[in-house]
Structure 1
Amino acid sequence: MNPLLAAAAHVLDLDETPRRLAPDHPTGWRTAHWKIKTATGDRVARAHHEAHAVTLLHAAGLYPARGVHGHLGEGVWTAVEWRPGTTVWDLCAPAREGRVPTPGFEQELLDVAHAAFDALARLHTAGWHHGDVQPANIVVTESGDVEFIDLDFTQHPTLLPLPYPYRGGMDHVTAPEIAERLLHTTTDVHLELTDAA
């Protein structure tokens, strides 16, 4: 087992073997109750950033999951409580796969969109910006609430700056305001997020 993952498993007192989060995610694992990431080298600062964002958001009552993190040598591991639910990406799978959506799907999707905008507005009101709003990072819980996951691009005045220039999330969901700035700046220029973007 990866030594960082083993350290996390020990601290979390896991009674199960973590499984890979996704085939293309070599440093992420999950268990029934935790999402665990490990980081070495230039990824350590990013992991620290996300761990502190989770801690601050949880303390402010803006994020329901608590986080834990630790060090082993020059590496770091982070663990965030697993958020049960369905991502918007998975929710939309029938449409992507050409299947006929279930009756009421359109209304369900509209309800999710409104809940996501409300949740995002609460974050913005508190001065937080997620930085990577995309279908895979929006979870619809069993109660119908919407939560945002993967907080490694998150920005807030009390959070240390990102350890690298922020250049937007995934291209196909980048806000027009960010895309415009991307076109007119070099890759070493940090783009500050706004409520509109």
Structure 2
Amino acid sequence: MSGPILDLPTPVLDALTPTSRRLVADRRGSTVWEVESPQGHYAVKLGRPVEATAEWDAQPWTALAPAREGAVLHHLGRRDVVYGEWEHGTWNVQPWRSGPDLYRLWEPRRRREAPVEPHVSVAPGCVEALAEVHARGWAHGDVQPAHFIVGPDHVHLIDLALARGGDVPEVYDFPYRGCLVHYEAPEISRSVLATGRAEPTPEADVYALGASLLISATGWRAVEYPDDAPRSVQREAVADGRRRPVKAPGRLGELIDAMLSHDPKDRPTLQEAAEVLN
């Protein structure tokens, strides 16, 4: 249960004076709104803590994530983002990115209702978007298909609350404890299993990009484990390298296979990936 849906904080309402708003995501500890206002078109993210239940531990960090993402985006030169605090946690406001995410874009391809090449042509944009983050000295830490928004002229990489690479205000910071396991590199899963936390790296982001391209193109996860397996079991499978064969077509399949190498040193750099795709 995510709890009752809470309205936008008063400072956000006062600043944006929305003409319309639509709830687009309601997950444990966070909601995302699409807001139209006289000032423009925005995404508003609200964070609140997750209380412990019989199924999961308490997650206080979710309350801090929107402000942490705002601080990261400022490091990356994004002055069109504002963030602050509200009674339940923190919030941020950033420009809305229009377009399908990578997984949704490739859905016709997975059903074999579309040719390969138009979709392969999007992959360089994903590489470029991630490379822009790395070029500024940051690792994203949460690369997944839903975080690549394919606009008409540019692929946007969103959701940087877990990124590492520079200082953020201590009051909004929290340890990195992994991400969605489908896209975790083996070294990240091993570290989380051993210590409860890990350190995102560019090499782990490359693995996650490969896993994102694979599941978007084929519908299959990179690593095999039961759909209802606990996260610890999922991470053990990833750490042990129980990979499925890559069945994506052509040069994209060859690149994904290299990106999913168990050893980080064997994965291509993003520059090498771009050269393969272009």
Match of 2:112 in 1: 100
Distance 1:84 1:93 in 2: 18
Q: Choose the corresponding residue for 1:122, options 132, 137, 149.
A: 132
- The aligned length equals 183
Percent of aligned positions that are identical: 31
Structure 1 unaligned segments of length 5 or more: list them: 60-64
Distance 1:107 1:54 in 2: 33
Match of 1:66 in 2: 80
Deviation of 1:24 after TM superposition, in Å, equals 4.5
Distance 2:98 2:151 in 1: 6
Given the superposition, is the C-alpha separation of residues 23 and 119 from structure 1 closer, same or farther in structure 2, using an over 3 Å criterion? closer
Deviation of 1:136 after TM superposition, in Å, equals 0.2
**2:141–2:163: 8 Å Cα contact kept in structure 1?**
yes
Higher relative contact order (CA 8 A, sep 6+): 1
Structure 2 unaligned segments of length 5 or more: list them: 50-59, 205-278
1:117-165 superposed Cα distances (whole Å, 9 cap, x missing partner): 232223212201111110000111111x221111111112243577332
TM-score (norm. length: structure 1): 0.79
Question: Are 1:20 and 2:32 an aligned pair?
Answer: no
Given the superposition, is the C-alpha separation of residues 101 and 159 from structure 1 closer, same or farther in structure 2, using an over 3 Å criterion? farther
Code of the residue aligned with 2:114 in structure 1: it is T
1:61-118 superposed Cα distances (whole Å, 9 cap, x missing partner): xxxx82122333463321111011221021122245xx33323xx2233222222123
Given the superposition, is the C-alpha separation of residues 146 and 10 from structure 1 closer, same or farther in structure 2, using an over 3 Å criterion? same
Distance 2:142 2:123 in 1: 16
Q: Choose the corresponding residue for 2:63, options 44, 67, 70.
A: 44
**2:147–2:158: 8 Å Cα contact kept in structure 1?**
yes
Distance 1:75 1:148 in 2: 24
Question: Are 1:193 and 2:184 an aligned pair?
Answer: no
Distance 2:181 2:64 in 1: 23
Question: Are 1:134 and 2:144 an aligned pair?
Answer: yes
**1:47–1:152: 8 Å Cα contact kept in structure 2?**
yes
Structure number, greater radius of gyration = 2
Question: Are 1:155 and 2:164 an aligned pair?
Answer: yes
Deviates more, 1:23-32 or 1:174-183: 23-32
Code of the residue aligned with 1:12 in structure 2: it is L
Larger proportion of helix:
2
